[in-house]
Amino acid sequence: MLVNATHMLQSAEKGHYGLGAFNTNNLEWAQAILTAAEEEQSPLIVQCSMGAAKYQGGYNVVYNIVNTLVKNMNITVPVALHLDHGNYEACFEAMDAGFTSIMYDGSHEKSFDINVEHTKELVGIAHKKGISVEAEVGGIGGTEDGVTGMGEIADPKECKTIADLGVDFLACGIGNIHGLYPKNWKGLQFDVLGNIKKEVGDLPLVLHGGTGIPVDQVKRAISLGISKINVNTDLQVVFSAATKKYYEEKKDELEKGYDPRKVLKPGKEAIVVRTKELMEEFGSVGKGWE
């Protein structure tokens, strides 16, 4: 049975460890992430972006894949199914499909007031359904068309305003970006993170763009109140590398080497290995029933 992410993240915040929120992109991805969580006995947040949901056939398909796998794989640790970077409309679609947690990304709305208005509404609706809610203050940067933006730095006072709406966890821009980090990246702004934590108290905070941040910085961020670390690119990179190696070694030319089950197996196994490594770095191993 899928659960919302509130309790597991509150436990992480109190225990000063982080929980990985790993994006799923297809059946193999979901299987791999769940396998890693069960083997490590780590609570798990499986999340899906709007684009990945569309690719897989819609939110209902994603829900059915993850929910059925949890049952058929006999997963014993808590698993939440979370919408990643959902717009206002997507939040309703995901909730209707059975997602147990949603992120409303109002950081790119025309005004902060719209972010507040929509977040307040969604918190009220979601909580009546037992669904957890993540909100965001300060847009997360990333690379688009060869141009890398550092992302907005969240205003601690705005973070408090959103936190006071009753959200269950909060994403805040502290210099983190999506995708691979450029060589000239300046690092996380821990002073901003500390100021945000002072404003929001024991509310779990979220670090987007977890791929490529040095381990020491991730661990320091966790010690300062980060409880959820989003991971997507990292797993895509290891999947791609393992698949590339399969073809470079000409394994596709062996007997039935073209079978997609054989083609996808190395990448799937690479996701399991990397996910387990990250769970160990974040400190969530063995925390399945806290």
pTM for the whole structure: 0.92
pLDDT of residue 247: 96
pLDDT per position as a tens digit, 114-134: 999 999 999 999 999 999 999
Q: Residues with catalytic annotation?
A: 84
Residue 16: the pLDDT is: 95
pLDDT at 181: 63
Q: Please, where are the H alpha helices in the chain?
A: 6-15, 27-40, 50-56, 59-72, 88-97, 112-128, 156-163, 190-200, 215-223, 233-248, 260-282
Distance (Å, whole) CA 211 – CA 20:
11
Q: Average pLDDT, stretch 223-248?
A: 95
Average pLDDT of the residues in 41-63: 97
Q: CA 164 → CA 175, 204, 246, distances in Å?
A: 23, 13, 51
How many Å apart are CA 278 and CA 160, to the nearest integer? 30
Q: How do residues 197-222 score in pLDDT, each as one tens digit?
A: 999 999 999 998 767 788 888 999 99
Beta strand residue intervals within 67-168, DSSP E: 79-86, 101-104, 132-137, 142-144, 147-149
Q: In this predicted model, what pLDDT tens digit does every residue of 132-164 receive, in sequence order?
A: 999 998 655 544 333 344 556 888 999 999 999
Give residue limits of the domains in the chain: 6-282
Tokens of 237: 């990179």
For the chain, the average pLDDT equals: 91
Question: In the predicted model, is pLDDT for residue 40 greater than 50?
Answer: yes
pLDDT tops 70 at residue 183: no
pLDDT higher than threshold 80 for residue 177: no
Please report, rounded to a whole number, the percentage of residues in the chain having pLDDT higher than 90.
77
The one-letter code for the residue type at 165 is L
pLDDT in the model for residue 152 = 66
User: If you average pLDDT over residues 241-254, what whole number do you get?
Assistant: 95
Burial 53-64 (b: 16+ CB within 10 A, else e): beebeebebbbe
Measure the CA angle with vertex 205, ends 111 and 38; round to 5°.
Answer: 130
Place of tokens 């769940």: 34
Region 6-282: CATH code: 3.20.20.70
